[in-house]
């Protein structure tokens, strides 16, 4: 694999990120900003190392080529394409996620 890969977000992933940050911001704006920096740092690493995330245990997600990056209590689901990494969902780790993807 050659890099750097472009990072692309599906609109659902963008909405997930906004929702997460708005939820945190209600109680603690500083924590929301900190969480955004953590997401940015972790996801930006995928540009040079797209296989950084783990392969989910869910068989359907494996077959679809999903990988999963863990950022604190959140899971970033993505797929590696030829020239880019596509961020598909960002959800809290406590949620059941297979039906969301």
Domain containing residue 78: 6-100
Q: What is the pLDDT of residue 93?
A: 79
> How far, in Å, CA of 20 to CA of 32, rounded?
8
Q: How many domains does the chain have?
A: 1
Q: Is residue 1 part of a domain?
A: no
Per-residue pLDDT of the chain (101 residues; tens, 9 = 90+): 556 999 999 999 999 999 999 999 999 999 999 999 999 999 999 999 999 999 998 899 999 999 999 999 999 999 999 999 999 999 987 766 655 55
Looking at residue 58, its pLDDT comes to 87
User: Is the residue at 61 inside a domain?
Assistant: yes
pLDDT confidence of residue 27: 94
Quote the pTM value.
0.88
CATH number reported for the structural domain that contains residue 66 in this entry: 3.30.2310.20
Tell me whether residue 23 is in a domain.
Answer: yes
Give pairs for 76-81: CB < 8 Å, separation 24+: 76/13, 76/39, 76/42, 76/43, 77/13, 77/101, 78/46, 78/53, 80/1, 80/5, 80/50, 80/51
What is residue 55's three-state secondary structure?
coil
């Amino acid at each position: 694999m050659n890099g750097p890969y472009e990072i692309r977000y599906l609109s659902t992933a963008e909405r997930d990120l906004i929702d997460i940050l708005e939820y945190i911001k209600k109680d603690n704006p500083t924590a929301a900003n900190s969480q955004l920096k953590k997401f940015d740092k972790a996801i930006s690493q995928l540009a040079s190392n797209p296989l950084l995330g783990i392969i989910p245990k869910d068989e359907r997600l494996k077959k679809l080529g999903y990988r999963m990056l863990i950022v604190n209590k959140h899971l970033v689901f993505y797929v590696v394409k030829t020239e880019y990494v596509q961020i598909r969902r960002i959800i809290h780790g406590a949620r059941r996620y297979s039906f969301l993807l």
